[in-house]
Structure 1
Amino acid sequence: MKICVLGAGAWGTALAVNAAGRHAVCLWARDAAQVQAMTAARENARYLPGIALPAALVVRGGPALAAVADAELVIVATPMAALREQLLLLRNAACPVTWLCKGVEPALAGADGLLAHEIQAQVAPGLVGGVLSGPSFAQEVAQGRPTALVAASPHAGLRDALVDAFHGPSLRVYANEDIVGVEVGGAVKNVLAIATGLADGLALGLNARAALITRGLAEMTRLGLALGARADTFMGLSGLGDLVLTATGDLSRNRKVGLLLAQGQTLAQAVASLGHVAEGVYCARTVVQRARHLGVEMPIAESVVALLDGRVRPAEAVAELMKREPGVEAP
């Protein structure tokens, strides 16, 4: 299969490296200097240092449409903020297109922020599209460590293509029709990971971490159901699985933001120190806005937004959550 990955960040590079031994893979980067550096060093030193690019992996720059011209599958590996632009570019693509980003687009012109499949429906309705998601740190995928992902799309052919493209000795790919649930899980877990990082940074203990993950999963599920997702999706890889990984893993950028805020850093300082995008920082407000419009309660996400906006200090955010009235445990 001929695969073109648009975006040479950590995750796009990791998937390209993983698939290059089995397929003809092209990794496209917007930055000409990055293309030159990767071609010369056979390494993405900026985003995935220490991982050698397979000899069969082709690194390309120039116009993106030229790179995808003969592709049988296109993978958009850009941050959420660039997805609309990429889908507009690919709106007439003859082959299926899959995105990797996990987040919600910032609200435009007073409307609710959109999930990725909603952006695609708006700007490229004829595209055969879907998402590849799940608990996965790029570094471990590139190293060939065991990982499981979920391929979600309303198109059975695309789900099958993603399984064929990436299912292999170190990577299991499960198919799922519930693209809404998979995308909600991928977006909301980033927000909740900031909260668990905050709790860990404040040394609140393992009980607090378990409570945040569990009640966070309930918030994620409530929002997903309100948007039309299936409840069982949130007990799978893109729900519980990705939440646990992002909330507890030391490689999690969103968890790191919470840890740094707990140490007294400003949001600007925390984000600048990462060197990568932490999607939870950018989609937290949009997630909460969408929940409010749907009448969905998300107190943990609300507290994260108050913290990111500077309206509360770290300890105050925890105190506000603990002061909530008693309730019945339910999703």
Structure 2
Amino acid sequence: MTSDRRQPQVVVLGGGSWGTTVASICARRGPTLQWVRSEDTAEDINTNHRNSEYLGDEVELPENLRATNDFNEAAHCADVIVMGVPSHGFRSVLTELAKELRPWVPVVSLVKGLEQGTNMRMSQIVEEVLPGHPAGILAGPNIAKEVAEGYAAAAVLAMPDRNLAANLASMFRTSRFRTYTSDDVVGVEIAGALKNVYAIAVGMGYALGIGENTRAMVMTRAVREMSKLGEAMGGQRDTFAGLAGMGDLIVTCTSKRSRNRHVGEELGSGKTVQEIISGMNQVAEGVKAASVIMEFAEKYGIVMPIAHEVDAVVNHGSTVEQAYRGLMAQKPGHEVDGTPF
């Protein structure tokens, strides 16, 4: 017997590289609508099956992926919402969405960041603005253009309800994009925000010409810092050794396409944060997250030397040379139980 159930309508909010890539994945599985602010971007997606501004001319999008500038249209037809807007615009878009969205529609965030001012994770904002709507996150080692070009990759979809996560995960799977599931929303969100800060640290190291051994040391100790804070905030330790933690950290620290690594390298060349950000057409969430992470570290009483040095450079006028000297001045203790670098 064949099922006559209607396929759920996925609505992706946001027209950037990762939002468009996820929209193209969903469009291969079922009906998908992408809301974008730019009329030119919508025209490009609908007519040329491209998002040239963010993914270039080489990446061809599915013909059945449709884009719109009409926010009300997107909100009204959604069975699943995918939030691809940056952290600083997340709340305002949700507030508009609250006026139109039907009850109980799940909201999946793509944002690896924290809200400045409130220090809230994106799922917490969903719970506040859209009470009753299940909220989760899709995250992992995912450089958008590589996924869009068809290279094999994987991610984890974290939702508080395991059954819901399993049902939704099929919408984010293709033969080359593997989507695992988790119920550790806190851990996946914190891992996603933290790894961006550590990518800035490694980027600064690239600018200084540090060796491969040094990079491996920084990244390994970064996983430890991430795990300590994540567990203190309610996350599960295994999450930080998985795709959203170590996996995403590796690719964000090593890929030349990484926005946060780029920020670190540019800081190392002597540019200010303002100069770097003004020259980018996409958001580097690690810049915004650095100060928030230090507030969390103080709140939970956790020593986080790497994050501290990044925050000092990004927000307090320190130099990359001072940052690495500060790290190497830390006395090593027990690898597992000790807290310093």
Same fold by TM-score greater than 0.5: yes
Report the residue type matching 1:87 in the other structure. L
Which among 241, 252, 260 is matched to residue 247 of structure 2?
241
* Runs of 5+ consecutive residues of structure 2 not aligned to the other structure: 1-6
Is 2:156 the partner of 1:147? no
Report the residue type matching 2:248 in the other structure. D
Report the residue type matching 1:159 in the other structure. A
Per-residue CA deviations over 1:268-309 (Å, capped at 9, x if unaligned) read 222223221000011111111111111111110110011012
Name the CA distance, whole Å, in 2 between partners of 1:42 and 1:122. Answer: 36
Is 2:188 the partner of 1:182? yes
Which among 39, 53, 56 is matched to residue 46 of structure 1?
53
Q: Helix, strand or coil: the match of 1:27?
A: strand
Aligned positions of 1:1-331 closer than 5 A: 1=7, 2-50=9-57, 51-62=59-70, 64-91=71-98, 92-94=101-103, 95-108=105-118, 113-330=119-336
Q: Judge which range, 16-25 or 193-202, deviates more.
A: 16-25
Name the CA distance, whole Å, in 2 between partners of 1:48 and 1:58. Answer: 16
Report the residue type matching 1:172 in the other structure. R
Q: Helix, strand or coil: the match of 2:180?
A: strand
Report the residue type matching 1:104 in the other structure. L
Per-residue CA deviations over 1:113-171 (Å, capped at 9, x if unaligned) read 11112222222221111111111011011112111110001123431233110112011
Name the CA distance, whole Å, in 2 between partners of 1:88 and 1:275. Answer: 25
Q: Judge which range, 21-30 or 208-217, deviates more.
A: 21-30
Name the CA distance, whole Å, in 1 between partners of 2:174 and 2:55. Answer: 21
8 A Cα contact 2:45 2:66, kept in partner: no
Q: Helix, strand or coil: the match of 1:312?
A: coil
Structure 1 residue 261 displacement after superposition? 1.1
8 A Cα contact 1:42 1:52, kept in partner: yes
Name the CA distance, whole Å, in 1 between partners of 2:141 and 2:44. Answer: 29
Name the CA distance, whole Å, in 2 between partners of 1:66 and 1:289. Answer: 39
Name the CA distance, whole Å, in 2 between partners of 1:156 and 1:65. Answer: 30
Structure 1 residue 37 displacement after superposition? 4.1
Structure 1 residue 310 displacement after superposition? 4.4
Q: TM-score, normalised by structure 1?
A: 0.94
Q: Stretches of 4+ moved more than 6 A in 1?
A: none
Number of aligned residue pairs: give it: 326
Aligned-residue sequence identity (percent) comes to: 37
Name the CA distance, whole Å, in 2 between partners of 1:169 and 1:318. Answer: 42
8 A Cα contact 2:21 2:148, kept in partner: yes
Name the CA distance, whole Å, in 2 between partners of 1:17 and 1:270. Answer: 30
8 A Cα contact 1:188 1:287, kept in partner: yes
8 A Cα contact 2:50 2:56, kept in partner: yes
